[in-house]
Amino acid sequence: MHRKTFYVLAAVAAISGGAALAEDMVDPGKATYVQYCAACHGEYGMGKGAIADMFTAEVPDLTQLSANNDGVFPMLQVIHVIDGRTGVRAHGGPMPVFGALFSDDADMGPYGGPVYTRGKILSLAYYLESLQK
Ligand code: HEC
């Protein structure tokens, strides 16, 4: 490869790599949301995701969680809903339980499963809080 071409390619790789990283850093909660929740709850949390029609139960509008709770974001309840292991949702429901996915046992991340799991659920909950109308 021509030396000059190599430098240009290296610079492009550095820039795009950095941009992707910056995006992840900005909002890990959003990345998790888009990956695991948007199909049902919609891109902006307002319901009507791509597969929402498959449910007889209505997929709730997640931008109204505060409005439905006297203007206070129900942080703990949201964490429990996502986590699914706390018993709050023991009655079952159409929404999948994410406890296994975000499991403490998961061998993920340099600091181990529990830190990874809590960080992920918390950033997701903060992201949902940011969507409140
Ligand atoms: C397969 C479809 C589906 C997916 C995927 C899904 N949900 Fe849900 N979600 C539902 C349905 C249906 C309900 C309402 C019935 C229930 O509670 O089970 C619900 C309820 C909720 C509630 C309670 C809303 C309220 O008004 O109390 C929250 C919070 C929530 N989901 C967050 C999430 C988050 C965060 C994710 C991603 C980690 C997610 N959901 C993924 C279908 C889904």
Give residue 90's pLDDT.
43
Distance in angstroms (rounded) separating the CA atoms of residues 71 and 88: 21
| Tokens describing residue 85 | 């292991």
**Is the pLDDT at 91 greater than 60, yes or no?**
no
Determine which residue's CA is closest to atom 27 belonging to ligand 1.
65
Give residue 55's pLDDT.
73
The region, left, alpha or beta by phi > 0 then psi within -120 to 50, assigned to residue 64 is alpha
Which amino acid appears at position 27 of this protein? D
Full set of structural domains in the chain with CATH: 27-130 (1.10.760)
Distance of CA 32 to the CA centre of its chain: 3
Q: Which of 10-14, 56-60, 110-114 has the highest mean pLDDT?
A: 56-60
The 10s digit of each residue's pLDDT in 51-90 is 777 777 778 899 999 999 999 999 988 988 887 765 555 4
Average pLDDT over residues 9-38: 68
**Distance between Cα 25 and ligand 1 center (Å):** 25
Distance in angstroms (rounded) separating the CA atoms of residues 31 and 82: 15
| Tokens describing residue 12 | 């492009």
Determine which residue's CA is closest to atom 40 belonging to ligand 1.
37
**Is the pLDDT at 42 greater than 70, yes or no?**
yes
C-beta neighbour count of 10 within 10 angstroms? 10
Which pTM was predicted? 0.74
For residue 61, the ligand 1 atom closest to its alpha carbon is 26
